[in-house]
Amino acid sequence: MRKAGHVPAARESGFSAHQEGVERLLASYRAIPPDANVRLAKKTSNLFRARASNSAPGLDVSGLTSVIAVDPEARTADVAGMTTYEDLVAATLPYGLAPLVVPQLKTITLGGAVTGLGIESSSFRSGLPHESVLEMDVLTGSGEIRTVRPDGEYADLFRGFPNSYGTLGYTVRLQIELEPVLPYVELRHVRFHDLRALEAALTGIVLDRTHDGERVDYLDGVVFTADESYLVLGRQTDEPGPTSDYTGMDVFYQSIRHDGAAPKRDRLTIGDYLWRWDTDWFWCSRAFGTQNPRIRRFWPKKYRRSSFYWKLVALDRKYGIADRLGARKGNPPQERVVQDIEVPVERTADFVEWFLREIPIEPIWLCPLRLRDGGADAAADGRAWPLYPLAPGRTYVNVGFWSAVPTVPGQPEGAANRAIERTVTEFDGHKSLYSDSFYDKDEFAALYGGSHYTELKKRYDPDQRLLDLYAKAVQRQ
């Protein structure tokens, strides 16, 4: 454990280095031609929608990738906007602290999780990453850095920033809450043979935060088939004992499965638990053969991570490798279906049954969420999150599916994704915008902020230096 006496000097040094990065950012903004869109000069991304090429210089965010300071007494961290959660967690765990919500993949940035939303197994009790933000410095489209908080002059930007995807501005610095964590996480993998039984159990656990007399600190699940699904229940503990390691030959999601009536138990360090999905990008590493023991044995550990798999996907998209290989076998091109959606908990079984019937993809990830306490007050005075309007006091379930399906001749582009969008809307749900979307303008406006977004755009990006949200999310500009 680090000594608290080291914090002030480190804090001063961190803010000094951060200010240098801010100056480079502002200089790069001024260098962008007035008639060019402002974009990040960023080599990596966790987005899965195509983007138009752009020859104009981008914003220099190279100095905005560090944890500025951790305050273990206040349980807060000041973090530059482009800092990855991998680096953030590495800075906070030595103090026995962690962000309230740590998205599943190491290279997701804190700024990205706030402007583009993030989620994980603590979201049933801690909401989404933007709900633990205390304040942000935001570079707006007009080139000004505004410090935004839940209240005050720029409260509208604070509330409208989540799900804006860089179309209102970019985070320069965020101050976030941290929570105490214990060294280990005890896991129970509870099997269900019926999706409605799973839905009922999930509903109860979210409200009670217990199951069979044991506390539940983390909650997510996996659906393999309609009659084989699991909830994964995590409980923090400081009790010593043996732990599993899924960075080697074993694969985490495969370890969940069992035939017994009693839950299967497991145990991970808190660090390994937070990154349990990253090693194999949930189950997507199987597309590259990494789960084949004969290949896995020789696949370097440093490349068993989501960021490397993402690079392979980018190469496939650029050169159409999978479709070319499929064409040689007489197979049609594939439609990418990489999405996360949310439906109310009482429609979870309905949606999953529809999905398994209509979209040939498995497994499926489940992750419940609720807005944090206080969300009702925010909604009452109009300060809830207008660009992604979840209802306070209501439980939702994120359903994640990441694969591809064969295209059908005569069907429109994105036929499977369009069907998913229609069904999610019918079930009073929402869809994240990190991947392909096909909404028309009116429906998009109704779902994602409408006139509220228009007013924010006028105030913080009056000259349209940043892309419009519809242009970015649907038109893929």
The answer to whether residue 424 sits within a structural domain is yes
Domain boundary among 156, 180, 204: 180
The answer to whether residue 448 sits within a structural domain is no
Q: What is the pLDDT of residues 323-333, one digit of tens each?
A: 776 777 778 88
Q: Please state, rounded to an integer, the average pLDDT across all residues of the chain.
A: 91
Query: Which CATH number do you get for residue 34?
Result: 3.30.465.10
The answer to whether residue 222 sits within a structural domain is no
Q: What percent of the chain has pLDDT over 90?
A: 78
Domain boundary among 180, 204, 237: 180
The answer to whether residue 101 sits within a structural domain is yes
Alpha helix (H) ranges present in 407-449? 415-426, 441-447
What distance in Å separates the CA atoms of residue 367 and residue 268, rounded to the nearest whole number?
A: 19
Is 66 exposed, middle or buried (CB count within 10 Å of its CB: 0-12, 13-18, 19+)? middle
The answer to whether residue 229 sits within a structural domain is no
Q: Are 316 and 366 in contact (CB under 8 A)?
A: no
Q: What is the pLDDT of residues 395-422, one digit of tens each?
A: 999 999 999 999 998 899 999 999 999 9
Contacts of 437 (CB under 8 A, 6+ apart): 49, 417, 421, 431, 444, 473, 474
Q: What is the pLDDT of residues 179-194, one digit of tens each?
A: 999 999 999 999 999 9
In the chain, how many domains are there? 2
151 compared with 381, residue with greater pLDDT? 151
How far lies 409's CA from each of 26, 217, 335, in Å?
A: 49, 47, 12
Residue 1: CB atoms within 10 A of its CB come to 7
pLDDT above 70 (res 378): no
The answer to whether residue 257 sits within a structural domain is no
Query: Which CATH number do you get for residue 393?
Result: 3.30.70
Beta strands in 214-280, from DSSP E residues, in sequence order = 214-215, 218-225, 228-237, 264-269
pLDDT above 70 (res 240): yes
The answer to whether residue 137 sits within a structural domain is yes
Range of the domain at 17: 4-180
Write down the pTM of the prediction. 0.92
The answer to whether residue 220 sits within a structural domain is no
Domain boundary among 157, 180, 203: 180
Q: How confident is the model at residue 392 (pLDDT cuts 50, 70, 90)?
A: very high
Identify which of 110, 108, 89, 96 has the alpha carbon closest to the alpha carbon of residue 274: 89
The residue type of 205 is I
